Amino acid sequence: MLVAEKRIAFDPVSPDAVRSHKILRRERPNRRVFFKIGGVVLCVLVLNILIQAVVIQKTYEIRGWEAKIRDVNREMVEVRMDMANLESLDRIKSIAQNDLGMREAGSSDYRCIAVAHPKSSNTIDNPRKSGSLLAKVASWVGGFGATMAKTP
């Protein structure tokens, strides 16, 4: 460690000067402390630069994803418009009449179909008494099949 000395002007005439003559020492700051503080500041600056670079990179990525989201939203709007156009009743009616040869139903085209429940060994006699949902569905499907088989 380096030490600098500063001497007070000495006046040999004064008797107090001999007693009060002191050597004042002024210490220099330690260079190691400066290097440590400088190293910490340098590390903080490098870390800040790295963080800023990562932030900039992520910002570009976010902008890219936002652009993709806008494109997908635009496509969704176009698809919804196409769906609405394809689902329109006027379009379906024109295709049914022109392409498929269908016509509108008149009053003579409607028929009333009665449901008959055949008694067989495969069906349950009274599904309401059994209480089973599966039995009720089986009875209903069986009756529906028999009705469809008897229609002209």
The number of angstroms, rounded, from the C-alpha of 86 to the middle of its chain's C-alpha atoms is 31
CB 146 within 8 A of CB 118: yes
Looking at the domain assignment, is residue 108 inside a domain? no
Q: How confident is the model at residue 70 (pLDDT cuts 50, 70, 90)?
A: very high
pLDDT at 76 exceeding the cut of 90? yes
Residue-range definition of the domain harbouring residue 81: 3-86
Task: Name the helix (H) or strand (E) containing 128.
Answer: helix 127-130
Q: Residue 3's Cα: distance from chain center in Å? A: 66
| pLDDT mean over 130-151 | 65
Residue 63: its pLDDT value, please? 97
Residue 148 inside a domain? The answer is no
Assess if residue 56 is contained within a domain.
Answer: yes
Question: What span, in angstroms and rounded, lies between the C-alpha atoms of 117 and 142?
Answer: 8
What is the tally of structural domains in the chain? 1
Average pLDDT over residues 40-49: 97
Mean pLDDT across the chain, nearest whole number?
A: 77
pLDDT band (50, 70, 90) for residue 31? confident
Confidence bin at 127 (pLDDT 50/70/90): very low
Residue 14's region, left for phi above 0, alpha for psi from -120 to 50, else beta, is: beta
Which neighbouring-strand residues pair with 10?
A: none
CA atoms within 13 A on the CB side of 50: 6
pLDDT at position 4, please? 58
